[in-house]
Amino acid sequence: MGTRAPTILIADDDKDLVHLMASALTRAGYEVLTCFDGQEALQVIQERASHIDLVILDVLMPKLDGVEVARHMKNDPSTSHIPILLCTGQGEETIVKGLDVGGVDYITKPFSMRQLLVRVGVLVQRFVRADR
Amino acid sequence: MCGMPAVKVLVVDDEQDTRKLVRLTLERRGWTVKEAAGGEEALQLLGQEHFDLVLLDIMMPRVSGYDVLQRMRSDERRPSTKVVFLTAKGRSDEVDYGLELGADGYIVKPFSTRELFDYLSGIMAA
């Protein structure tokens, strides 16, 4: 993965799922940053935009939902470049809304860590390496 | 990072998930990591073996991170062990107090695994 592994921020209110994803991604060689609600995630993303290469956003979160976080990110020039993978347990409507505000892909719960790693790998190839 | 000898770390946190993430992150870089789920367990392990670095959560039931650090600093057998606090965001009073007690540094949660490693490498190289 070169000298600098991509940093992935994971935001989901399901703590167990966050840690499962964090472990899987860390084992695969990525750097991670974990958040448990939308407000915290947005704040961390704004503060450390230059250190975050990809954001995995749960659509349904307390305080600020994933769609709102994505909207804020896309409206702010300092965070608009960061690709967003949406993580959703819901139907078509939420997925469409999430993609509409700037998500580049989505993953439907429940998903395997194998599927997560493949999707993240594709996004990193597409968005992260090209920037370097 | 290259050339630094393997660092032996004790990570003390009552949250298992945090310990695991720290362990995965540091072991990937060749460091050796042991875990303690609380202050008592940490003190017990510190009495048995030498660690180069202790990562200490502050808010733990019964024996806090402050208690562990105070006990460590009053024990002359362990002067070379560095101590870094793990603290929740926005608690600058906690940080100040920890540094006054003799901590070598602190990391604010939520932290990225890269920041964690870079920061700890800096502390160990100092």
Share of chain B above pLDDT 90, in %: 75
pLDDT in tens, A44-65: 999 999 999 999 999 989 899 9
Cβ-defined contact of A15 to B17 (cutoff 8 Å): yes
Is A42 inside a domain boundary?
Answer: yes
Per the structure, the complete domain to which residue A74 belongs is given by 7-131
A110 lies within 8 A of chain B by CB: no
In a domain, residue A62? The reply is yes
B111 CB within 8 Å of a chain A CB = yes
Which tens digit of pLDDT belongs to each residue from B106-118?
A: 999 999 999 999 9
* Residue A52 resides in a domain: yes
| A2 falls within a domain | no
By the CB < 8 Å criterion, does A77 face chain B? no
Residue that wins the pLDDT comparison between A128 and B112: B112
User: Residue A129: is its pLDDT beyond 80?
Assistant: no
In A, minimum Cα distance to B20 occurs at: A23
Report CA-CA distances (Å) from B95 to B59, B105, B108, B112: 12, 9, 9, 19
Q: How buried is A1 (Cβ within 10 angstroms: 0-12 exposed, 13-18 middle, 19+ buried)? A: exposed
The ipTM of this complex is 0.88
Could you give all domains of chain B from N- to C-terminal order, each with its CATH number? 8-125 (3.40.50.2300)
Q: Distance between CA atoms of B22 and B19, rounded to whole angstroms?
A: 5
Structure letter (DSSP) for residue B3: T
| Chain B interface includes A17 (CB < 8 A) | no
Task: Give the pLDDT band of residue B100 (cuts 50, 70, 90).
Answer: very high
Domain count, chain A: 1
For residue B90, name the pLDDT band (cuts at 50, 70, 90): low
User: Is residue A132's pLDDT more than 80?
Assistant: no
Residues of chain A with C-beta less than 8 angstroms from the C-beta of B2: none
8 Å CB contact of B112 and A40: no
Q: Cβ(A2)–Cβ(A29) under 8 Å? A: no
pLDDT band at A90 (very low <50, low <70, confident <90, very high): low
Which pLDDT belongs to residue A107? 95
Q: Distance (Å) from the C-alpha of residue B85 to the closest C-alpha of chain A? A: 18
Q: Tell me how many residue pairs between chain A and chain B have CB atoms under 8 A apart.
A: 43
Residues of B with Cβ-Cβ distance to A44 under 8 angstroms: 110
Mean pLDDT in residue range A29-40: 96
Give the per-residue pLDDT at B57.
Answer: 95
Confidence of residue A1 (pLDDT cuts 50, 70, 90): very low
Chain A residue numbers touching B24 (CB-CB < 8 A): 23, 26-27
Tell me, what CATH number does A51's domain have?
Answer: 3.40.50.2300
